[in-house]
Structures are given as C-alpha cells and as structure tokens.
Amino acid sequence: MTHIDAGAGLDPVHPVAPPGTPSTGLTRAQVAERVARGQVNDVPVRSSRSLAEIVRANVFTRFNAIIGVLWIVTLFVAPIQDSLFGFVILANTGIGIVQEWRAKKTLDSLAVIGEARPTVRRDGRSVEVPTSAIVLDDLVEIGPGDKIVVDGVCAEAEGLEIDESLLTGEADPVLKRTGDRLLSGSFVVAGGGAFTATKVGREAYAAQLAEEASRFTLVHSELRTGISTILKYVTWMMIPAALGLIVTQLVVKSNDFKGSIARTIGGIIPMVPEGLVLLTSVAFAIGVIRLGRKQCLVQELPAIEGLARVDTVCLDKTGTLTEGGMDVSALRMLDGADEEHARKVLGALGESDPHPNASLQAIIDAYPDSEEWRCVESLPFSSARKYSGAAFSEGDGQVSSWLLGAPDVLLGADDPALAETSRLNEQGLRVLLLARAARGLDAPEPAEDARPVALVVLEQRLRPDAAETLRYFADQHVHAKIISGDNAVSVGAVAQKLGLKGAAVDARKLPAELPEMARAMDRATVFGRVTPRQKREMVGALQSEGHTVAMTGDGVNDVLALKDADIGVSMGSGSEATRAVAQIVLLNNSFATLPSVVAEGRRVIGNITRVATLFLVKTVYSVLLALLVVCWQVEYPFLPRHLTLLSTLTIGIPAFFLALAPNTERARPHFVRRVMRYSIPGGLVAGLATFATYLLARHHYTGEGALSAETSAATLTLFLISMWVLAIIARPYTWWRIALVAAMGVAFLFVLIVPWLQDFFALRLVGNTMPWAAVGIAAVAAAALELMWRWVDRRFPA
C-alpha cells in the first residue's frame, strides 16, 4: 500500500510482489568503467551561467559596441579627458560581471543544498548520489514525489503510477509495470519501485526537449521586457539624430577636424542609456545574494520581481501553514469495534507502505506493526480518491480488506459518525476513517458498503510564523486563498487560528465552469477536498479574472498548480517534483521567508523605475539637443568630458545608491508608461533650457575662448536642471538621500573652484552676467519641471 497526498485518476489494485532477491545494481568497478567512457548524467546545472557566459553577456552588447568604437576614435583625436566615458563603461561592465558572478556562486551553493539526490542501488546497497553521478545502467529507486531524472526501463514496480503531464499534457497518472519505459521529467505520484537508466545526460528525453525542459515555464519580467522596448525606441531615435549631428559638425561647420569629431562623439554618447541594463542586472543579482543568505533559492531571477507583483497567493495547508509532522491524539472506536484489533490493523497498514506521508507516519509512530499479518494487495492513495486500502492475510489464514481515508468520502451522507467527524474538524483536527471493506479492492467502488471501525484523530502543528506572514500579506493587500485536500471544516478551523477570515468551501461543490469558479473563489477564502486537477483549474480561474497568482506547496499534488501559477514557491523539504517546477525554493522550509522575497522584488521594481527615469531624461535631452544643433547649424555645445562629468554626478553615482536602497512601495504595472511619462517632459525641459542658455551665451561671448565660455554656461544650466530631476527622483527624502544629492552638488562646485579641475574638464565661468543668467534659466526650468510632473501625476496616474 502507498499513502501519499498526490496523484489523480486511475484506481488500480496491485498484487504485492512476492519476496525474492532484488537486483543488487552495478558494482563499484562497473560504475567507474562507465564514468571513464563518459556514460554519466552530465547535463549542466540549468540555473547557472558559466563565467565565460557572464562575461560575454555583460561585454558584448549592442550599446557597448557603439560606445567602444566611439571610445577608440576619441582616444586618437581628443585629449584623455574626453575619453573618460570609456573608462566608466569598463568600470560599469566590471561591476556587472563581479555582481553576477557573486550571484552565480550564491545560486550554485544553494542549488547544491536543494539539489535532488536520487537513490541508486550499488553493490547491493541503497545510496544517495547527486543527479550528475548517475551512470548508464544504474538501478534507480523511486517513491512518491520522486522525479524521474533520466530515461529508463522499469525494473521493479509496486503500485507504481507516473505523472507525465509535464511532458505530454495528459493529467491522468500512468500505471507502470516491469519493462515499461520511463521518461525523464515525469514524476511518481503513487507506489514505488526501481528503474534501470537507459539514457543519461544529453540523450535523456527531458534534456532533448530544451535546456529549459526541467522548468517548463519561464517567468515573465515586465522590467526586462520594458527596458528592451525602451532601448529599441532609443536606437530608432539615435540613428537619425546621430547622422544629422555628424553631417552638421563635419560638413556644415568649418571647425578643425579633431574638434568636430570630439563634439560629434560628445553628442552621441549621452544618447545611450548605457548603465540602465547594468543596474537592472546588478539589482537582480544583489537581490539573489540577499535572499540566498536567508536560504531562499531563486531559480529564475525575474521571479523576485514576479512575486512582488502578485495580488493573490494560494497556500497549501499541509507543509505550508502547518509543519510536516503530525501526532495521533485519539483513536475513537465506532459501533463497538475492538480497539486492540483496530490498532493491529493500523500497525499493519503503516508497515505495508514503504513511503509513508506525514499522516501515515504519525500512525506508524503510534501503532507499531505486530508482524502477525502479511499484505497481499494494495490500493495506492490518490488525492482524487481520498483513500487508500490494503488486504491482509491474518494469522488464522483469513484475508481482510481495509480502507483508510477521508470520512466524508468513505461514509454515506447520513452516517452518524460524520457528526463526530465534524465536531473534531471544527477544532482544527484532521480525521481519518479506518473502515473494513465489504468488497474486494479490485471492485469498481471498493468503498461502497464499507463498515466504519474507528476514527483516527490527528493533531497538526501550526507553523509559528504562519500567522505573522498572513498578516503581512493582508497589510499589503495580497489576498490569501488556502487550497487543501483536507476536510473544508478542518482547514477553515486552522485558518481561523491563524487569523484568516472568510468562508470555508467544499471544493466538490464548486462549479466546473471557469467564470463561475472564479466568482466563487472571490467570495471565499478556504477550500477543502480539492483535487490536484482542481488546484490547477482554480489557479487558472483566478488568472482569468486578471489576478497575478502565486502558488505555494510541497506535495506532488501541488505540481500542476505550481507549474501553471505565475510564481511557484516550493518548500525545500517538499517533493523533488515540486522543487523542479517552482521558481522559488524556500530551503529553510520557512513560510516567513516570503515577505523577504516580496520586499526584494519591490525594491528592485521601485528603484529601477526611479533610476530608469534618470537615464532616459538624459537620453531625451541628448537627442533633442542634437536635433536643435542640426536645425540651428551650430557647434554642439559639449565635449565628451562635460557629459561624462554630468552623467557621473547626476546619474551614475546616485543611480547606483538609489537602485540598491530599501523600497517598500507596492509594485505597479505598466513600467514603460510610468517611466516615459516623467522622462519625456523632463528631457524636453532640460534640453530646451540648456539650448536657450547656449544660444544666449553665443550672443554674449565673442572672440577667442568664446566657445569654451558658451559650453561652460550651458553645462551649468544642464547640471542644475539635472540636479533638480535627481532631487525629485530621490523623494521621499531620508537623511542619506539628502546627503547624496548634496554631495553631488558639492562635487560639481569643487570642479568649478579648483583650477586644475577647471582645466581638466574645460569648465571656466566667464564674467557674472552669463553665469547668473544660466542659473536663472535653470531655476525657471526647475519650476516648470515641478509643475509639469505634478500635472502628469494628476493627468496620467500610474
């Protein structure tokens, strides 16, 4: 007999294999021989990129190629000061590589902790080995919840049912017998056995599907998609603006060649938001490192962002809100049954199952087997059926069949034992019914006319951190739905103990149609007697109403729902199958870690939205300045060194701190719209004000050195406006944000007053009239920015 919270579909009865000598598996010498031939399961770890791939991803980008070419040209035609932007890009790329490498090491170390360790039989002994250590012809032992990690042929089967839905889409488990083929990527839902590995490594079925086959779904990242969209539009804007700038500076204006090249490059470089992708990657990487310290394995980086956007979290009760272990608190006899005999039956049921779950383990602990009976038939447990069974040959030679499962499934609706069951369920206790079957286990309905013998009362242990975590979700306006296979009244009582309000519904009474199911789920909070297929349908129903759904679970019956949810969260102690399809694995089995994941996601989303606005304001005003220069046919106002200085002080350094700062803002959708509604007006105001100062300076200054003075005045205006943009982005103010903005202002002032820095950056404010005019224009632009952004907030709310 096998008893687990898993599986759906078939109700097979399996004769128990007669005793015999099982296969001893490979010898140590045979394993070494296969390793030497390369017949080993050497599929690379899916969640980790190599150092070479990390370097390639950070170095060989479209914008790095553009900037790299311009940098090389600048090194030949201009002073080293104008080549500073290239060194900044090198530093940024280096930071990105280091942070991602740190994140990789964190992920790899956590993956080792959470890695499945299949049991193989070698030299007649069962040993656990890493998945990568399985060799061809290994005899791999499997039980409920185990994932089939390589292709093979079934060598031993005892009520073995395999779920291949993640490969074939078929939800019903498939009964496997000796000689049947097993495919990697499927998992065991009932029974147990062993199989011989016939295809390992890249030859296995799941490996051939794709590198991502073991994951089956990829998390959608609105941040990354949005940034890619923005970069696409930036590229389209850059091309005509850059071409016009080149023609103007090299052909229309009769400047010296090297000076024209430097100013052309000075106009093109700031159009590229080169640090935006870097800071997004760094923010994700540091989030992985922070969560790794809390024993949270993020198997897909955007999952951090995804969980922050979740508005509904579906929780499996057992293993999530309650601890895995249970205790038998009482055995209540029915209809005058013999308690001593019932204890023997329960002991025999426990002994006959090689893979007991938490409920049966509690029974095993309470009622040791008397070894008087021999199991001759077994009916595996499935979540769809809600009971299991076994037939025993007792000491007198008689054969008796017994069932153990949900009272409200095994008993008729008017049975008086149900009233006692309801009273116990209302106390939050879990109740199983031991019944003697009137029919054989191979009958179409073996539970029909079964005679109730005893109620087994189990006490569940609530997780001490569950109530606080549920309060956190409620405070954050995230709706919690408890979805369990247990009795709805019992689950409702547990929910009330945890402070979760709402009606408890028996899922067997839910409508099958999607819209009606979605409405029913909106009205209720707790759902009991849910089958694995229903869990999947309930997730789909919530998604059909526009909800972003996270699903937590640890049992095989949660796999399909975890796969379909927007974010799947598995406990580290959960089955191998659940860990394989989940995007987030809580290795410490602590439900209380989830708020930390939500907080990290909110930090990433909120902060990247802030810094993206900074970068794109620069892109907008750079494109606008290039177009205005082309239309007026004047020299471009800046050299590369000026914009490197401005970018570093108003974007680069502040963005790094802002991107990694704490942020508890609720995650909101429409990333591109929210960024562009600020970037476009901010860039337009900055560009127009800067160009107005530049034209005014061109009329004010004459003679030798006029261009340098004009550039200095325009730089002052652009810096002050950019500082105001930074001051707006940094809100709400804290002491360190104020200090950050002030430090950038002091740094620029330092450049203006130190002679050698004036020479280095070619910044010298000439006279009093034009510098103060530049300050006045910047003040008017700052006021316009403030009014415009407030109007945008009212007119286009996020």
The pLDDT, as a whole number, for residue 396 is 65
Residue 215 above 80 pLDDT? no
pLDDT > 90 in the chain, percent:
16
The pLDDT, as a whole number, for residue 15 is 41
Confidence grade of residue 327 (pLDDT, cut at 50, 70, 90): confident
The pLDDT, as a whole number, for residue 397 is 67
pLDDT higher at 619 or 360: 619
pLDDT higher at 357 or 79: 79
pLDDT higher at 611 or 95: 611
- For the ranges 8-12, 34-38, 305-309, 709-713, the lowest mean pLDDT is seen at 8-12
| Cβ-Cβ contacts under 8 Å for 343 (sequence gap 6 or more) | 331, 367
The pLDDT, as a whole number, for residue 6 is 33
Confidence grade of residue 171 (pLDDT, cut at 50, 70, 90): low
Mean pLDDT calculated for residue range 478-505: 83
Confidence grade of residue 721 (pLDDT, cut at 50, 70, 90): very high
This prediction has a pTM of: 0.69
> Residue ranges of the alpha helices (H) in 633-734?
640-647, 653-660, 671-700, 706-729
Across 58-67, 670-679, 719-728, which has the greatest mean pLDDT? 719-728
Cβ contact 403:450 at 8 Å: yes
| Cβ-Cβ contacts under 8 Å for 67 (sequence gap 6 or more) | 85, 86, 89, 269, 272, 274
Rounded Cα gap, residues 269 and 658, in angstroms? 23
| Cβ-Cβ contacts under 8 Å for 262 (sequence gap 6 or more) | 74, 77, 78, 82, 639, 640
The pLDDT, as a whole number, for residue 2 is 33
Q: What is the pLDDT of residues 270-309, one digit of tens each?
A: 888 877 877 777 888 888 888 888 888 887 767 778 878 8
The pLDDT, as a whole number, for residue 797 is 64
Confidence grade of residue 14 (pLDDT, cut at 50, 70, 90): very low
Confidence grade of residue 363 (pLDDT, cut at 50, 70, 90): confident
- 461 phi and psi, to 5 degrees? -100, 115
The pLDDT, as a whole number, for residue 217 is 42
Rounded to the nearest 10 degrees, what angle do helices 594-632 and 466-475 cross at? 30
Domains present along the chain, CATH in parentheses = 14-38+116-209 (2.70.150.10), 222-289+598-795 (1.20.1110.10), 322-462 (3.40.1110.10)
Mean pLDDT calculated for residue range 613-630: 90
Mean pLDDT over the full length of the chain: 81
Mean pLDDT calculated for residue range 29-54: 78
Mean pLDDT calculated for residue range 370-397: 73
Rounded Cα gap, residues 175 and 13, in angstroms? 10
Rg of the chain over CA atoms, in angstroms? 34
Q: What is the pLDDT of residues 298-309, one digit of tens each?
A: 877 677 788 788
Amino acid at the residue 234 = V
The pLDDT, as a whole number, for residue 123 is 87
Mean pLDDT calculated for residue range 591-601: 83
Mean pLDDT calculated for residue range 182-200: 85
CA distance readout (Å), 525 to 116, 426, 503: 34, 16, 6
Residue 211 above 50 pLDDT? no
The pLDDT, as a whole number, for residue 214 is 38
- For the ranges 205-214, 592-601, 684-693, 766-775, the lowest mean pLDDT is seen at 205-214
Confidence grade of residue 118 (pLDDT, cut at 50, 70, 90): confident
Residue 213 above 50 pLDDT? no
pLDDT > 70 in the chain, percent:
88
Mean pLDDT calculated for residue range 14-43: 72
Comparing C-alpha atoms, which of 269, 355, 330, 220 is closest to residue 73?
269
Residue 695 above 90 pLDDT? yes
Mean pLDDT calculated for residue range 357-376: 76
- For the ranges 390-404, 689-703, 731-745, the lowest mean pLDDT is seen at 390-404
CA distance readout (Å), 187 to 167, 361, 581: 10, 22, 11
CA distance readout (Å), 146 to 142, 191, 240, 456, 760: 6, 11, 58, 28, 66
Q: And the tokens for 78?
A: 């201009």
The pLDDT, as a whole number, for residue 685 is 95
Residue 365 above 70 pLDDT? yes
The pLDDT, as a whole number, for residue 245 is 79
Mean pLDDT calculated for residue range 478-485: 87
| Cβ-Cβ contacts under 8 Å for 403 (sequence gap 6 or more) | 379, 387, 388, 389, 410, 433, 434, 435, 436, 437, 446, 447, 450
The pLDDT, as a whole number, for residue 646 is 93
Is the bond into 732 cis (omega within 30 degrees of 0)?
A: yes
- 176 phi and psi, to 5 degrees? -115, 140
465 is catalytic: no
Half-sphere exposure of 664 (CA within 13 A, CB side): 6
Cβ contact 770:713 at 8 Å: yes
Q: And the tokens for 635?
A: 């020299």
Rounded Cα gap, residues 80 and 58, in angstroms? 25
The pLDDT, as a whole number, for residue 497 is 82
Confidence grade of residue 745 (pLDDT, cut at 50, 70, 90): very high
The pLDDT, as a whole number, for residue 722 is 95
Confidence grade of residue 102 (pLDDT, cut at 50, 70, 90): confident
Comparing C-alpha atoms, which of 538, 568, 106, 537 is closest to residue 307?
568
Rounded Cα gap, residues 760 and 416, in angstroms? 93
The pLDDT, as a whole number, for residue 793 is 77
Mean pLDDT calculated for residue range 567-595: 80
Cβ contact 162:8 at 8 Å: no
Rounded to the nearest 10 degrees, what angle do helices 594-632 and 302-309 cross at? 100
Q: Which of 316, 353, 408, 566 is catalytic?
A: 316
User: What is the DSSP annotation of 487-526?
Assistant: -HHHHHHHHHHTT--S-EEEGGGS-SSHHHHHHHHHH-SE
Rounded Cα gap, residues 24 and 113, in angstroms? 28
Confidence grade of residue 785 (pLDDT, cut at 50, 70, 90): very high
The pLDDT, as a whole number, for residue 206 is 60
Residue 13 above 50 pLDDT? no
